[in-house]
Structure 1
Amino acid sequence: MTDHGPTREELPFPDYDHLPITGLAHRIRSLDLAQLRVVIEYEEAHARRVPALQVLQTRASELEAGAEPSGGDPSALAPELSPAPSAGSSVSPATAPGPDIPPTESDEAKPPMRG
């Protein structure tokens, strides 16, 4: 660790910076107290998000009071994280709609469809 807290590489799961607060409590349940303290130090040294610190410190208190880490892998794929966007676009002249065709007289004479 440095004077500026742990680095991202020292965190127990690699996607911590992109993890929403709503998923944080679930992802830290499998961490032991030492791992959780690394995350707390990282948060305090970097973003200092009050809601994140509250969740982390509450879990640390639970572990200090005798709670056991749950099973699971904190670095496993998280459903709350969307995949990275793919490069490029599927839009091209081949996928464009056909040319606009102006209405004919017979189209104008028809009453509008109601549904």
Structure 2
Amino acid sequence: MTAPGRSTLPLPDYDHLPIGGLESRVRSLAAEEVEELLAYERTHADRLPVTELLTARLEQLEAGAEPTSGDPGAFRPEQGGGRTGSPVSPATSPQPFSPPPHGTPDQRGKPKGDRT
């Protein structure tokens, strides 16, 4: 089997998926599609955790496991899509303050007592 090209892979943006995202999304693929990904992985990055994951899933499918329902192009947690920015609001933020001045010309030194 020749390795498929990036544009024909069963999972879009396969090269950019973190292993956690790949693990959940590969469950929706048939054995032939997992074989395609495995061939692509072995000829390109050949990352051991990814090849182990794909090999294990392929073995599960060959042992009778069925692909789970789901869309390989569905929302991925790694895309974000949630809120961004700080959860702090003006109501929960502290009052602004300025640090005390140190060594400014208008702040005169005070005597330390009798130093004679």
Q: Give the 3-state SS of the residue equivalent to 2:15 in structure 1.
A: helix
What's the counterpart of residue 15 of structure 1?
A: 13
Per-residue displacement from partner, 1:50-103 (whole Å, max 9, x unpaired)? Answer: 1000000000000000000001111222112357xxxxxxxxxxxxxxxxxxx4
CA contact (8 A) 1:40 1:57 kept: yes
- If the length of structure 2 is used for normalisation, what is the TM-score? 0.66
Which runs of 5 or more residues in structure 1 are unaligned?
A: 84-102, 110-115
What's the counterpart of residue 28 of structure 2?
A: 30
What's the counterpart of residue 73 of structure 2?
A: 75
| Whole-angstrom CA distance in 2 between matches of 1:57 and 1:75 | 22
**Displacement of 1:22 after TM fit?**
2.3
**Displacement of 1:13 after TM fit?**
1.5
| Whole-angstrom CA distance in 1 between matches of 2:24 and 2:12 | 15
Which runs of 5 or more residues in structure 2 are unaligned?
A: 82-100, 111-116
Q: How does 1:84-95 map to 2 (within 5 A)?
A: none
What's the counterpart of residue 49 of structure 1?
A: 47
The runs of 4+ residues in structure 1 deviating greater than 6 Å are none
What's the counterpart of residue 40 of structure 1?
A: 38
Q: Work out the percentage of aligned pairs sharing the same amino acid.
A: 47
Compute the RMSD of aligned alpha carbons: 2.9
- If the length of structure 1 is used for normalisation, what is the TM-score? 0.67
| Whole-angstrom CA distance in 1 between matches of 2:42 and 2:11 | 17
**Displacement of 1:27 after TM fit?**
1.0
The amino acid across from 2:73 in the alignment is S
Pair member with larger Rg: 2
The amino acid across from 1:36 in the alignment is V
